[in-house]
Amino acid sequence: MKKALIADDHPIFRNGLKLILSYEMDMYVVEATNGMEALDYLGKNDVDLVVIDIDLPGVSGLDVVRQFRKRRPAVPVLVVSALPEEEYADRARKSGASGFLNKQADKLAFMGAVRALFREQQHSRKIPATVVPTDSSDHEEELPHKLLSDREYQVFCMLASGKPVGEIAEKLCLSDKTVSTHRMRLLKKMNLSTNAELTNYALKHELIRIM
């Protein structure tokens, strides 16, 4: 029986994926609620599939993928996220993920993505990227938000969505001071001055969604 690790901090979503993999795809499923739990388990155990959210407390999902890829380059890794796929699919690909799926996808789309990754694994020792295509034009590469690290980009999106520093710090398991430092650095990289300017930039480039 194949073994999968699901890393997500939302119990309902995590349990939903577990039911699909367990009962629909006959897989043994282990759960992790944050990045450190995922890294700890992956460092001590073999798995056949990793399904991981980007926006994890503490160590981000993409950091987990990068560290895991150094040890197990051929294991399928599916990144799932509610964040805009136009930006995060490209970041997932660069981190070493095998695929990217938006959390709005239905059960059949999820099952299809997992089966596709296993088919690719059978034909190649190195799994090709299957993320959503992104625009790699020179103009896009020059945009300021492309210069941000994954953590800085995560903080940027949360600030642009109106979340205060304290809430961001709690969500990411960071100190207020660390979040403020990320804020200062990303503002400098993007040549912006205020959170309002971050929000306007994010909306202009469709990096966040206002519900």
pLDDT along the chain (211 residues), means of 10: 95 94 94 94 94 90 92 91 77 89 89 88 46 44 82 89 90 89 93 91 80 50
All domains in the chain, ordered by first residue: 3-123 (3.40.50.2300), 138-204 (1.10.10.10)
pLDDT of 131? 45
pLDDT the model gives residue 153? 87
> Is residue 8 classed as helix, strand or coil in its secondary structure?
coil
Distance CA 147, CA 165 (A): 21
CA distance 174 to 182: 11
Distance, CA of 81 to chain centre: 6
Helix 61-71 × helix 85-95 angle, to 10°: 30
State phi, psi for 126 to the nearest 5 degrees.
-110, 115
| The predicted structure's pLDDT at residue 121 | 66
User: Rounded to an integer, what distance in angstroms lies between the CA atom of residue 110 and that of residue 17?
Assistant: 9
Please return the burial class of 179, using the count of CB atoms within 10 Å of its CB with bins 0-12, 13-18 and 19+: buried
d(CA 39, CA 42): 5
CA 88 centroid distance within chain: 7
